[in-house]
Structure 1
Amino acid sequence: MPKIIFFAGEIHPIYFGNASTREPIVWFDKVVNGDKAGVLFRCDDPDGNCEQDGWGGHWRGENATSETVICPLSYSTRWPLEAMCGHGYTIANSLTNCYFASDLLHRVYHVPKIGEETVEHFAGEYNECLELSKTHPEGAVSNSHSLQYFALEAYAFDIGVPGEGCVVKFEPTSSAVVASQTVTPTATRSELVAVTSEAAKECHTHADSTEHCS
C-alpha cells in the first residue's frame, strides 16, 4: 500500500491533470470506508435485463437505487486481479472492465450513496481520458473511467508487474479488446453525451434511464 500511495503522486497528473488530489482520494475512500449500508450486488436478475444480449450487469436505478445486478456474462468474461497484465492486456488499449475488480468499481459509483450522482461518464476511451485531464481536470476527477484507469495503473505498477506495469502506448486499432466507446470530453455534467458503438456491448442503465454500453 505505501508504494501505491507514493506512485499515485506520479500518475495522478496523467488522469487528473493539475486538479487537487483531494477529490479522487475521496472517491476511493468512499468505496473503502464509506457508509455502504443497504448497498447490494445481486445476481438474481429481478428486472430481467440480463436476458438481453451483451449485458454484463446494470444498476437498478429507480427500481432500487442501492442495488446493482451482476449478470452471468460477467462471471464468464471478467478476469481476477491475479491476472493483471496477463492475457495480452494493456491499460491503454484494453477495456476498463476486463477485470472483475475494476468493473465492480465502476458499477458501485452508480450507487448514489457512493458516487453521490457526481461520478459520471465524461470520457471513456484511454486517450479521451488523458485529453480530459488536460482540458478539464475538474471533470476528470469525477470521471468514472479516469478513476478506473488510475486504479488499474497504480495496481499494475505496484503489484501486477512491479516497477513496470502494463500501460503500453495507445493504439486505437491494434487490439481486439480496444475500448469501443467514444465520448466527447466535457466539464459539465449536464452536457454528457451518449456512448455509442457498433461493436459488441455490455450495458447498464443510469439514474435517468439512459443506457450506457461498454
Structure 2
Amino acid sequence: MNTSELIHGVYAITPERSALWTPDAIVDCVAAALEGGVRLFQCRQKNWQPDELIEFVGQLNALCEKFDAALILNDVSSEAFAHFKGAAIVGVHLGKTDEPVAQARSRLGSKWVVGASCYNQFELADLAVLDGASYVAFGAMYPSGTKPNAVKAELDLLSKARTLGVPTVAIGGITLDRVPELISAGANAVAVVNGLFGMEPDAAQVCSAAQQWVDAVNAEH
C-alpha cells in the first residue's frame, strides 16, 4: 500500500494513559474502533518505560494486523524504532521537539513512513517534504480539548499543501460536522482523539463513534 492509500480517511490517535484510561482500556477501545471501521492509528503515549511501551505496542500491532490496519508510532525515535516489531507498524510521527525528519529518514530508509507535525506553518511542511516526510499534519484546525494551547492553523494551509505531493492530515478540535470543510479544503485524513476516546472507556460507544466517523469521511471522498 502506498502512502496516499495509507494516510487516508480517519486517523485515530490513542488516548494517553491515565487513571481512567489504563493500558487495558486503551487496547479494548482500539479494538472497538477497529470493529467500527478505523484502519489507521497512531500510538501516542508519553513517559512510558521502554519495555512496557514495547509490550503495549505489541498488543496494538496484533489488533491492527488482524484488521489489516496500519499503526504509526509517536514519541519513538528512529533509533529506538528497531525494538518495535510487528507487521502493522508502518513508521513514525515526529513533532517539533523530536529528531529532525532528515535524520529519521536517513536511519529508517525508504521503506518506512515518516510523518511530520507542521502546526500552522507551510514552510515547515515544505522543508519536511524536502527532508523526506511521507505526509504532513497541520493543526490545531479548531480549538482543541486535547491541546488547548495549540497554535491555530487556517484551512487554506490544506489547500496550499496540495502542491507538496504528499498526503495531508488535519488535526485539532475536529468534530463530525467539520469533516466536509476539511476534506473539501484538501485534507486526505482527519485525526481524531476526543471524537473517539473523549469519554469514559466504553467499547460499544467507541465502536459506534468509529462507524460515524468512517461514514462521515467516506461520504466526502
TM-score between both structures, scaled by the size of structure 1: 0.28
Structure with bigger strand share is 2
